[in-house]
Structure 1
Amino acid sequence: MMRVTRLTLVALLLTAGCGQSVTGTPVADPDGTRKAGEKAYSVAVQALNAYLQKTTDLRGSIYYYAAVNERKSGSDVDIAMRGTPAAFYYKSRSKTPPGYDYDTYHPASDPLEYVKLGQAYSSIAPTPWVSMPATEPGFTCAIAGLQTLCKINGALDATDKAKPPGRSTTATTAADGSTEVRTEITLKAFVDNSVINIPADVVGLIEPGLMNKLVPVKIVVNSDGTLHRAEVKGELQGSKTKVQIELGYESRGPADASDFPSVPQPGELTALPDKAAKDDFWDRMAKIRNN
């Protein structure tokens, strides 16, 4: 009798346990996670495109760094754009190597644009500023600084079409309502779209097998659906080549008058009269930078 009672008690305890919640780790839903990531990615790309197409007053910061073995280059850039027609200011500070700094400023409706030369470029002109005929960009992706976002967008699109195996896209939502989307692009898409302009001889150092490797991308969208940040950051190691990439654009809200310098005084200027002189100026800057 005692034996039966004990067996019955065990059976009752086991049966009672079946109706209770059990603490543990929930099983992930891979298909649901994938679909959520794809939806967030689509929203992030839309936010990036909307920023490029609709934002007229902006303040942004960009950082660039690329290294292929011992060949390295990096800089920080601030841009500001305001008004219609727009005033535009671009301020570049070279970090690797240092000293290759310059600013460009195009006041609204001014037929001239102005370039301020850093120390490394001081041999080009006897004055700190150079003026030249302004060139209207015509479309957003021709605007210095914003080109970075356009090129990231192009690399994302190229990778979408290539459908590389192993590409991962996920999304997380922060407490402030912003969404962070993590995805990847191929190194080939990065190079082909000149997300960072890498000289051809440096590209030639990259092993072909690395070109289909994936580089992480992060896009952060604010709670109101606007773009906050986009960045590409990763490191690839081949048998003979090491590639490092760090690049990002951060939106810092609308620009105001304090973001723009004063127009240089005549005594601070060397005037370039035409397009030929302007082209020669930029060629000379490029030669100094690439030596």
Structure 2
Amino acid sequence: MTVTRSARLAGAALCVAVAAGCAQPTAGRPVADSASAEQATSDAVRRGLDAFQSHFVNLGDEHARVYNYLNFGDVKITTEHESYKVGDPPAVLLKRRFAKDGSWSETLTPPSSETDYVKLDDDHKFLAPTPWVSVPSLWAGTGFDNCFLLTAWVACHLDKAIGQTKLDAPDEQPNEARATEDGFEVTTGALLGVMLDEGFISIPEEKRDGVTDPMKKTVVPVVLKFDKDMGFTGFEIRDTVSDGDAPQLELQLEYEVIGKATKDDVPDAPDAGETTAITDKAAVDQFWEKFNDRTPEN
């Protein structure tokens, strides 16, 4: 793979930042200038954030995974998504399960389709007499946007949260960069309250009062990961936020670029005999409400 000039510069800045931050005075060797080291680190972080944003603005054919774990009092949430995006206009397949050993649902959107096809997982089979349900596409009439893809949606809202935190709590936001065996890592952060407002850290509405103001004002570290060519490979958010007697909030959110998606990864639309069509708006809304319920009642 050809390394671009911007990738070489980003790598150089990261290496300089890491080396300068670890320099120790030795005989005959000048101590790294701290201002230069800080500037190199800031440049590296900025290039990392630019590469992160560029990845999703120019999202290509991608197979990605998002893992979400949250533990807050009696609220315990685990969700895993995998997405496949291929072509332009794209064919999209989104898979979801609510437990590590749970069954997968699938949501299929063929290229330029006005219809989404949903294959029901075991916990939601009662929603239709057939394995699949068809509903009006979530992006019918508006066209596809990369941030509509649920895995990418998480990254798009994380980007907003990082930007807002830079405005609201710049002195508390980490600003670090380091070289790794696989490439580079950039550590920044986002306020818990902003992440909750953006919706990608989700606590049921009836439990939100348990999150105190000091917890919301906590900046949670965000680690962005890149390969040696400064290509985005994923991110990780992992922290435990606490405040006195309030329940601890444990959270883990990971995005992983698994590889390039191909046409073979996305199935054809199911046959009509396997599909129950839902078109009435009220019925469609009710379907999505039940489908997204982790413990649906028949």
Query: TM-score category by the smaller chain?
Result: 0.7 to 0.9
Distance 2:270 2:116 in 1: 10
Q: Give 1:247 shift.
A: 0.5
Query: Structure 2 CA distance, aligned partners of 1:132 and 1:156?
Result: 34
Which residue of structure 1 lines up, in the alignment, with residue 251 of structure 2?
245
Alignment match of 2:59 (pick from 55, 59, 73):
55
What aligned pairs does 1:258-269 form with structure 2 within 5 A after superposition?
Answer: 258-269=264-275
Could you tell me how far apart the structure 2 residues matched to 1:290 and 1:237 are? Answer: 31
Q: Which has the larger radius of gyration?
A: 1
18, 21, 40: which one aligns with 1:36: 40
For the Cα contact (< 8 Å) 1:36–1:170, is it kept in 2? no
Residue 67 of structure 1 aligns with which residue? 71
Q: What do the CA deviations read for 1:67-97 (whole angstroms, capped 9, x no partner)? A: 212211111111010111110000011128x
1:157 and 2:149 equivalent? no
Give the SS at the match of 2:279: coil
Report the 3-state secondary structure (helix = DSSP H, G, I; strand = E; otherwise coil) of the residue aligned with 2:127: coil
5+ residue gaps, structure 2, are 1-24
**Kept after mapping to 1: 8 A contact 2:65/2:81:** yes
2:127 is matched with 124
Q: What is the aligned partner in structure 2 of residue 283 from structure 1?
A: 289
User: Against the structure 1 CA distance between its residues 273 and 226, is the aligned structure 2 distance closer, same or farther, given a 3 Å change threshold?
Assistant: same
**Cα displacement (A) at 1:198:** 2.3
Structural RMSD (CA) = 2.5
Secondary structure of 2:135 counterpart: strand
For residues 81 and 261 of structure 1, the distance between their equivalents in structure 2, rounded to whole angstroms, comes to: 12
2:238 aligned residue: 233
**5 Å matches for 1:174-253?**
174-176=180-182, 178-239=183-244, 240-253=246-259
Q: Give the TM-score of the pair, scaled to structure 2.
A: 0.81
Query: Per-residue deviation at 1:216?
Result: 1.4
Paired residues of 2:110 and 2:268 also in contact (CA < 8 A): no
State percent identity of aligned pairs.
Answer: 27
> Which 5+ residue runs of structure 1 have no aligned equivalent?
1-20
The secondary structure found in structure 1 opposite 2:230 is: coil
Aligned pair count?
Answer: 269
Q: How far is 1:175 from its partner?
A: 4.3
1:5 paired residue number = none
In 1, Cα distance between equivalents of 2:185 and 2:252 = 18
